[in-house]
Homo-oligomer: A and B are copies of this chain.
Amino acid sequence: MVKSEDVARKAGVSRATVSLVLNGRTDIQIPEATRQRVRDAARALGYRPHRSGRAVRSGKTGSVAFVLSSVSVRSLFTPLLLDGLIEGAARHDQHLLVARLGDESFDPKILREFAADGLILNYNSEAPPALAERIAQAKIPAIWINDRRAFDSVYPDDFEGARAATHARIAEGHARIGYAGWSPGPHYSMADRLDGYRAALEESGLEEHVALLERESPVVLAGCTAVLCYSPDVLKIAWQAGLRTKFSVIHASPFSTLEQDFTTYLLPDHALGRAAIELLMQKINSPDTPIPSHALPLTPSPPKE
């Protein structure tokens, strides 16, 4: 293994100089010729600085961790979200770890060891209470994704998304607009979407037509010329029940089926990832300042409708 001492010897300087040059410290005056010699030596030897050496000295690992439930359905995420996190991490010169936590009786590696400077937590249903406690107690900087907390979270603005989608349909001339979905469950977004739909109708003086699919058949929506639904699953159920209307679907990624006519409202997964890292870096730098949560807008797809 090549170490900074090898580079120093080859370049005829001290280890300190190697460190200063390779870390681009321009506040210290070092002749360009010396700098070049160091860089050449490093390249020639294939020197790769050992992250851990720096970490142990600086007290920062230079990594952040993306944390998921080991029950995958509790921590759904899209490639777009992961990409947002990777990009955000790269931007801050951080490595990104990915870990899954057992939901109970857990003592996961990522919490047991100090291996990351902060955590991005992604639970789309209730996170295990033990997790939040443990994080608070160990004072680990953390940002929650897809969770609408007062502080330290980023989430899609489902309320505004549903409201905008409904208004768009109204603007198109639809007067009888339905909503197909599940009964609002533990996750805030289910209630928010329904509320957004209702807000738009109320603002326009229209009547609501809601089919909660555990209880009602989509047939309740007969006569509607447009229907708002969440996820392709709901769309599929409505379709199979014989509903043939203009659909508006809130979903994470563009998708297609063969016959249906619909507009998609995309969840801002990439932006969520980016934003989560931004907030986390703030949090790492000042761990005691609560950060107001961010709601990010959904975008209609295709963007212009």
Contacts and interface: CB of A to CB of B under 8 A. Distances in A.
A303 interface: no
By DSSP majority rule, is chain A's interface helix, strand, loop, or mixed? Answer: mixed
Interface string A199-225: 000000000000000000000000000
In the A-B complex, the 5 residue pairs with the smallest Cβ-Cβ separation, listed nearest first, are: A52-B55, A52-B52, A51-B115, A48-B114, A52-B56
B114 A50 contact: yes
A90 B95 contact: no
A112 interface: yes
Interface in A223-243: 236, 239-240
Most buried by B among A52, A62, A95, A259: A52
Interface in A52-74: 52-53, 55-56, 59, 61-63, 66, 72
A90 B115 CA distance: 14
A32 interface: no
Given A86-B98, A114-B49, A72 B79 contact: yes
A224 to B, nearest CB: 20
